[in-house]
Amino acid sequence: MSENSVDRIVAHAYPWDVLGDPHFVDRVRELGIREIALAASYHSTRAATPLHPQHKVVDAHHAALYRPIRPEAWGGLDIAARGASWGGSEDAFGDAAALLVSAGLAVHAWIVLSHSTILGHAHPDATVVNAFGDRYPYALAPGHPGIVAYARTLAAEAVRGVDLHGVSIEAAGQLGFAHVGPHEKTDGAYPGIGDTLMSISCTDRELAAWAARGVDAEKIVAKVRGGIDAVSGGTLSPGSSITDVLDADEASAVLAVRHADADHLRREVLAAVRNESPDVRVTLHGHPDPWKTGPSPAVTAGVPSEVDAVLVSAWPGTAETVSVVENTRTLVGGDVSVGAYVSVLPPKKLDEVGAHVAATVAAGANELHLYHLGLVNRPQLGALGRIVAEYTR
């Protein structure tokens, strides 16, 4: 056991990892894991299942809610969740959660909010738009009223009637340019500040909100366009900052509107969750950089008073990742837990995982969230077990 033992270890899984595998619970117990974050809603993915006896890959080809799609919940909404046939049952999350709870495990509902390509294509007006008018169909606009209603209902339906210890909320804010999509061909095209500029959403609603804060919205769009072209042309260095493109008041307006949207979305979702499950523990996927977009968007000022833990992606075994954990601890203070989201999957080398995990704990993480029980093969499962053994009190 490590002197730096953590308060909580949570392992992640999909419903199809649990259902149909009579040995799943046994493997979890052998690892010493007591808590599982189980996907209740999730974006599209193609998932390996090396240790499952009935299948070896699952093609979850669109974002879905892994609960029954009830007309009484969704019938009055313009934007509604989609169900899935590949989850393992009609109520894949509910059934898998019940199985885990009956085995004495604590379950967290892992809920992905603003990431759905199938809904983005069906409702393009409810997606993020960059300064050149390009829509990101995978990125549901968190400030769009229809998306707020969708996310609120998604969360309520995810937790309804399930015995839960907590929720793990991913993508509670704006997704940006970076996206691991099918045959992605965008890596490195807009380096440095380019990703930040390509992630500034410029919908009509946002332009109006910027203008309401006393700045010239059209001028901001023109500056962002110019900055993107300067990055592409090599005349704006990768080390540049947002203030090399926008004036301070312009940058402040963009950020204020984005953060206000994230705050409203999160509060609506958490109210819906607590209405169904008042005592659940809340973990929010987040990042300390105020300009960060994606599945772990910026931690806004209101977050520390509203959640129990902030989960930081710590997959790359780099000094930068460790600094993100350290900065998150500084940002949220001592009363909110900081979780390091660590993976044993490639390109990670298994003999390097232990040192990286130790560094994140030393930087202030008092929780470890392990990725991922269903995706791992036997050697990777063993690596997860070594982490649990090292950090269990």
Residue-wise pLDDT tens digits, 14-56: 999 999 999 999 999 999 999 999 999 999 999 999 999 999 9
pTM of the entire structure?
A: 0.97
SS3 state of residue 347: coil
What's residue 37's pLDDT?
A: 98
pLDDT level of residue 3 (50, 70, 90 thresholds):
low
Q: Tokens 């950090």: give the residue.
A: 391
SS3 state of residue 45: strand
Average pLDDT of the chain, as a whole number:
96
pLDDT level of residue 1 (50, 70, 90 thresholds):
very low
What's residue 65's pLDDT?
A: 98
Domain that holds residue 123: 8-178+281-391
> Across residues 186-210, what is the average pLDDT?
94
Higher pLDDT, 5 or 108: 108
Q: Tokens 């050697």: give the residue.
A: 379
- Judge whether 336 lies within some domain: yes
What tokens does 356 get?
């990286």
pLDDT level of residue 179 (50, 70, 90 thresholds):
confident
What's residue 230's pLDDT?
A: 96
Read off the pLDDT of residues 345-368 as tens digits, 9 standing for 90 and up.
998 889 999 999 999 999 999 999
| Domain tally, the chain | 1
Is 142 in contact with 114 (CB distance < 8 Å)? Answer: yes
> Across residues 119-134, what is the average pLDDT?
98
Is 112 in contact with 14 (CB distance < 8 Å)? Answer: no
Query: Residue 303 contacts by C-beta under 8 Å, 6 or more apart in sequence?
Result: 266, 284, 286, 310, 332, 336
Read off the pLDDT of residues 89-98 as tens digits, 9 standing for 90 and up.
999 999 999 9
- Judge whether 272 lies within some domain: no
The CATH number of whichever domain residue 18 belongs to comes to 3.20.20.80
Residue 64 identity: A
- Judge whether 90 lies within some domain: yes
- Judge whether 302 lies within some domain: yes
- Judge whether 217 lies within some domain: no
- Judge whether 287 lies within some domain: yes
Residue 186 has pLDDT above 90, yes or no: no
Is 167 in contact with 281 (CB distance < 8 Å)? Answer: yes
Through-space distance between the first and last CA atoms of the chain, rounded to whole angstroms: 7
Residue 227 has pLDDT above 80, yes or no: yes
Residue 174 has pLDDT above 50, yes or no: yes
What's residue 347's pLDDT?
A: 87
Kindly report the number of other CB atoms within 10 A of residue 260's CB atom: 15
> Across residues 271-279, what is the average pLDDT?
97
- Judge whether 207 lies within some domain: no
Dist CA 83 CA 80 (whole Å): 10
Is 11 in contact with 36 (CB distance < 8 Å)? Answer: yes
Q: Give the rounded percent of residues in the chain with a pLDDT score beyond 90.
A: 92
Burial of 297 (0-12, 13-18, 19+ CB in 10 A): buried
Is 187 in contact with 301 (CB distance < 8 Å)? Answer: no
DSSP code, position 366: -
Read off the pLDDT of residues 278-337 as tens digits, 9 standing for 90 and up.
999 999 999 999 999 999 999 999 999 999 999 999 988 889 999 999 999 999 999 999
- Judge whether 183 lies within some domain: no
**Pairing status of strand 35-42 against strand 106-112:** parallel
**How many CA within 13 A on the CB side of residue 103?**
23
What tokens does 309 get?
């833990």
SS3 state of residue 311: strand
What tokens does 266 get?
């999160």
Query: Residue 164 contacts by C-beta under 8 Å, 6 or more apart in sequence?
Result: 97, 107, 108, 109, 277, 280
